[in-house]
Structure 1
Amino acid sequence: MDRQAKQAILDVLNSLEVISHQDGEMANAFVRNTPENVAALNNVGISVETIKKHGDDEAFCIFSIAADLEIADYNRGEKLYLFGPVDDELRNRVIDGEGDAIDAERLLRLLEPELFD
């Protein structure tokens, strides 16, 4: 799946209203299993089977779907993010001390992914 397709799915997942959320090692974000939410995901190629795999008749976990499809690099709060490859701007921002903690973690995850397994 290319970056554009991944981002399209993340945009839909991030647009859904989260009804339950938990941070930490077992982070999750659940949304209602409604015909509208299912249709929105179907429109970007997510099957009903995939949705059912990550929830029940009441709700499903958008973080779990993103992890299963390997389309997100990071989650913060109720949102999912796709960073992509390291670019010089990110690298320089972190090296020069102008970046924030998210920039530093993103760079570390991209350069040393085995630390996060």
Structure 2
Amino acid sequence: MYAVIKTGGKQYRVAAGEKLKIEQIPADVGAEITLDQVLMVGEGESVKIGAPVVAGAKVTATVIAHGRGPKVKIFKMRRRKHYQKHQGHRQNYTEIQISGIAG
């Protein structure tokens, strides 16, 4: 059984037992969270597609860790104008493990 969920403005295809990194959410490590924006649920040949979400479908997950992603370097330059700008960014994330799909 698998599902397509929406969190942090992105969509993820998940199945039970998978680990995945999503945009940071305010939850403690070890806490059970419920993701209720389920766009699609599939099991074998049967597929339920929501409009926009599947009614009554939920995905439960456990928060494993919080962290920061790799540094992304931003470099802007205007040639011949003596303008250079260096900037860096590290995005925060939450690592979760999918424990079950109901729907």
**Which has a greater percent of strand?**
2
**TM-score bracket for the superposition, by shorter chain length:** under 0.3
Pick 1 or 2: higher relative contact order, CA cutoff 8 A, min separation 6.
Answer: 2
**TM-score, structure 1 normalization:** 0.20
Q: Which has the larger radius of gyration?
A: 2
